[in-house]
Amino acid sequence: MTAWVAMALVGSLGALARYGLGKRWGAEGILLANLSGAFALGVLVGADVGGDALLICGTGFLGAFTTFSTWIVERRYIALSIAAGFVLAWLGSLLG
């Protein structure tokens, strides 16, 4: 139960971070959140992080930080988000 509460709290921080990037840099800030989040998730997976740590960091913070659904609204970034997101997640997994 504690991990679920931590996930929710950390998720709110991820959402606030994404909101801040979007507010400051608009669509480019959302793209930055999506790509850096893909890379960070790749690092977690590559480092074989699991259990509560992955729930809190991966699902909580990064899940709220990235919200890949936003690229549907920003149609000009769809291809770049998909291609670069996969590449950065792969690179992150190599470094992890």
Task: Give the confidence band of 81 by pLDDT, cuts at 50, 70, 90.
Answer: confident
Residue 47 has pLDDT above 60, yes or no: yes
Q: Which structural domain range is residue 30 located in?
A: 2-95
- C-alpha to C-alpha distance for 85 and 25, rounded to whole angstroms: 19
Answer whether 0.85 is exceeded by the pTM: no
- Residue scoring higher pLDDT (22 or 68): 22
As for how many domains the chain has, the answer is 1
Supply the pLDDT for residue 80.
80
- C-alpha to C-alpha distance for 93 and 96, rounded to whole angstroms: 5
In degrees, rounded to 5, the angle at the alpha carbon of residue 89 between the alpha carbons of residues 9 and 7 is 10
Q: How does pLDDT run across 59-79, given as a tens digit for each residue?
A: 899 999 987 555 555 666 777
